[in-house]
Amino acid sequence: MRLLEYKNEIKDTLWLTILQGLNYIAPLLVLPYLMVVLGADGYGKIGFAQSFCQYLMVIVDFGFNYTATKRIAIAAGNQKEIDSIFSSTIKAKTILLFGCTLIAIIVSFLPRYATYRGVIYVMFPMVIGQCYSFFWLFQGLGKVRVISIVNLIAKFSILPLTFIFVRDFNDVIVAAWIQSSVYVLTAIISIFIIYRKKMACYIPASKEELKYSFSDSFPLFISAAATSVYTALFVVILAYFSTEAIVGNYAAAEKIMRVACYLIWIPLSQAFFPKISRLCVENREKAIQLVNRLMLLVALVMSAIGVILIVSSSLIINFLGESYQNCEHLLKMMAFVPLIVGISACCGQFGLIAMGSDAQKQKFRNIYLIAGCVALLLVFPLSYFYEDEGTTIAMVMSEAIVCVMMIYSYVKMIKE
């Protein structure tokens, strides 16, 4: 089987890569500007608030980006079923949003995080926007290009305001407000499109449907929450033990690495996840062959990204300025993460989730649960003694543990 058999998915991937690239252009233009203008201290506050809100966004998403997407993809053509999934998912996410609001208020009043309080409040609309952006609906219906264009419009409409209104360290709150406004605008445009195109209609969700939505997504939520321990919560933990400047160095290095990584993975995942979900039902062997070929492609590309990070790290840091000098060392330490993430994502998301049964979903959850627990055991002592370098070591080790367990579980699954 050749990848060329999936011309539509490859075409979608290419389009999404272009769109994803454009989606990253605005942040990539804004990111170094914020780092330079705000300095490590100011960007440390932005990085902390973003990471904290991203963790809350994981709670709001609750794994629906996979379970609701898969259910809608399978229900293609059955509008009544799509409306039912749509409605129960919205209701579930709204309930979770209320819980996240309470968490944000409690954390903002903890004495150690008092310096971040204003930034947390201003960036919290990110969570609200994420709740009502409906990416899972667009992806399940095979309209990921639409939501990517919506996101593109929001970013290019709002993020350039950064260059006008953010001038120095004192504009941290303004910078945070601009960042969060992108998510709100994306949600508003998404709701408008869904209403005008009649893509789905809200109907009263039964308790049984709501309960099923939560139970179906719970394993993925646990895995996502555990993953976020070392993708988002690490910054929050590091902030407890160190200064805003040190947080800024770590947040900047990780942001650069993750952007390079997700630029490739997200379009590929968006285009092929629904296809693999359907293909597995029709022809399991072809689905396995497709996943294996995609894994090889991802491994090659992510390896190239790692080399680029190592070679260009000094140039990146020289551009950002003296307050980010430790970022060069951190970037080199993180250079292997894209390869590790790419392989584990293929095995996990394409393999265990798109192709797997409920039992495989449980394994997927358990892998991240184990890795999350190990990550917490690692990050506290390493961050306390070695600050940003210790946090980086904990992150790399956590990602490696996930990768090894994902490969083992995927290989075991396809041999059954």
Buried/exposed code over 353-363 (b: 16+ C-beta within 10 A; e: otherwise) = bbbbeeebbbb
Residue type, 75: A
How far apart are alpha carbons 45 and 210 in whole angstroms? 37
* Res 6 pLDDT > 80: no
What are the pLDDT digits (tens) for 155-183?
888 888 888 899 888 899 999 999 899 89
The helix-helix angle for 337-345 and 358-415 (nearest 10°) equals 100
* Total length of the chain: 416
* Res 186 pLDDT > 50: yes
How far apart are alpha carbons 182 and 178 in whole angstroms? 7
How many CA atoms, within 13 angstroms, populate the side-chain half-sphere of residue 221?
A: 17
End-to-end CA distance of the chain: 21
pTM exceeding the 0.75 threshold for the entire prediction:
no
| Per-position DSSP letters for 80-102, written without gaps between them | HHHHHHHHHHHHHHHHHHHHHHH
Identify which has the larger pLDDT, 347 or 356: 347
CA triplet 392, 396, 401: central angle to 5 degrees? Answer: 145
Residue of 321, 329, 330, 271 lying closest to 298 (CA atoms)? 271
What are the pLDDT digits (tens) for 15-60?
656 665 566 566 667 877 888 888 888 888 998 898 899 889 989 9
91 touches 54 (CB < 8 A): no
Identify which has the larger pLDDT, 69 or 192: 192
What are the pLDDT digits (tens) for 294-353?
999 999 999 999 999 999 888 887 877 777 777 888 999 999 999 999 999 999 989 888
16 touches 267 (CB < 8 A): yes
DSSP code at position 352: I
Backbone angles phi, psi at 109, to 5 degrees: -95, 5
> Which tokens hold the place of 84?
């039912």
pLDDT in the model for residue 1: 47
pLDDT in the model for residue 262: 77
What's the pLDDT band for 369 if we cut at 50, 70, 90? Answer: confident
How far apart are alpha carbons 108 and 116 in whole angstroms? 7
